[in-house]
Chains A and B, each alone.
Chain A
Amino acid sequence: MKKLMHLLFLSCFKATELIERKFHFKLSAKESLQLKLHKMMCKACTKYEKQSILIEKGISNIENIDIEEHDVEMLKLKISTKLESQK
């Protein structure tokens, strides 16, 4: 029974792979349909997708991390000196 289901509506392994691929590629009509049907029957993968989207957004947010101002000032100085010496 499980095997037949997986054949028709994907395994969770395959479904999560499609979820990841979907972030950047358009899935084929068959793949989208299979994924949709799979999610209707599978709570875990539905949660996975929601959480994966959240993580995706989180990753693109991380670039706003704090950087020590002091380090940046030191670096500016270092680079200016280097550029100066290359004149």
Chain B
Amino acid sequence: MNAIEKISEQDRDLFRQSMRGFLADNWPAEKALVLSGDDVAIRKTWSGLCGLGAGSLGVLDDAVGLYEALMLMEEFGRAAAPFPLIDLLIANTVLSGHAPVEPLLGSLQAGAVMPAFAAGAYDGDPNAGALACNGETVSGNLAFVELLPDTKYLLALVEDGPRLALIELVQAGVQIAATPGFAFPAYTRIMLDSAKAQLISLPAQAAQDLNLIFRIGMAARAMGAASRAFELVLGYLQVRQQFGQPLGRFQALQHKLANSKIALDGARLTLFNAANFYDQKSDDWRVFASAAIAASASLRQVALETQHTFGAIGYSEEHEAPRHFRRVHADLTRSGGVRRAREELATYLLGSI
């Protein structure tokens, strides 16, 4: 059934408001840095979100789909929350209906254990690594993987097939190293040496599609982070006085904010348009997703203008703005980022090289 026919705008608003309210109570953005190191808070918040409906996003024939997932990713961006929603959406998409993994899927959907996704050779970043299969084991290195303390399973694409490898992370043959940088919590590099895996065959296009879903999820999270920072600076401009008047009265700043508003509206509209096409099962969702990711490049300017407008107050690590700035730039660089999306559009319009 067509998901759009089943979900009204009012229902979507209610879903968003319930998630935003839950996050405000359990994961306020101003405490995100501390909470990201608190295993109890992570476990409690994620299982709570799953109980509110996040856990079943993407399940076959369920009414809710990518649109709702992007809404929630936007909320995670706003709250600087690192939860593995897109990873779980991918798990739901691939694992639903596979009897041997049904118990595990139930635990994932309940939030009892967490999944992580890695696109490997499909990632688009040449340094993201790749896995090779040998029977029922996999070997290779994977980089830029987001793991939380309760992340027990890795879902990794394998070029041979293509297939999805379901890998338990606590086993011999798996080594994990943190790679700190803009992303918080830090990315990890995962080294696998003949690690046991369940391998699930995928249709030919599925690996690319799963990676595209992941990428558009990153763009939605970046959009949420940029939106939250924009709203913070908008409030600041109303109250901060310089030269005897509120900063927001200066035309130079008004026009920066107007440009940011245009960029945010454009990014949001294109992202949710792509999700609508996906949920309606239209093949055109792919080109719209590429367009949305490419259009998200403007979010970098929003993040920069936010910092410029805040000035030194927002330059302090005690302020909320820096974590949103890093989130935007980290997420828009993932999996080949904006440049890859532009090339996909060029391929669609001009053909392959």
Do these two chains interact? no
